Amino acid sequence: MRDKPQGTDLLTEARRTLIEKVLPTLSSETRFNTLMVLRAMDLAERELRASATDEKQIAEGLRQLVAFKTAKNNNALVQLSEGIRQGNFDSSENLYQWLQLMVTFKLKETNPS
């Protein structure tokens, strides 16, 4: 068992320190690099906090889409992509909704606003 604070909480505090205490002291060149570091930490933190429920829902949706068409390939995502290119999902509303679900999930981590 790990001790507290957890890694995600440490990341939050590290970001706060960088923003409040380090960033105001920096030149424009080092500021750019520090902003990138902050962005990376922010993203990693949100990734660590991501909802397992959302991920399960996406995986289940993928399983249904691929099983519905064919079960040739073990990798469902590869199989789905091949199926799209081959025309098995042309203008499919089901696929479109699943793609939106997946992108919305990823956007929560990369573009939460």
CA distance 2 to 112: 28
Minimum gap (Å) between residue 54 Cβ and another protein: 13
Structure tokens at 26: 């920096």
User: Is residue 95 at the binding interface for another protein, with CB under 8 A as the rule?
Assistant: yes
Task: Answer whether 41's CB lies under 8 Å from 22's CB.
Answer: no
CA distance 5 to 106: 26
Position 77, amino acid: L
User: Is residue 107 at the binding interface for another protein, with CB under 8 A as the rule?
Assistant: yes
Q: DSSP assignment, residue 27? A: -
User: Is residue 26 at the binding interface for another protein, with CB under 8 A as the rule?
Assistant: no
Collect all residues with Cβ–Cβ distance below 8 Å to 82 and sequence separation of at least 6.
73
User: Is residue 36 at the binding interface for another protein, with CB under 8 A as the rule?
Assistant: yes
Minimum gap (Å) between residue 92 Cβ and another protein: 7
Among 6, 17, 33, 64, binds another protein (CB under 8 A): 33
Interface residues toward another protein, by CB under 8 A: 33, 36-37, 39-40, 43, 75, 77-78, 80-81, 84-85, 87, 89-93, 95-96, 99-100, 102-104, 106-107, 109-111
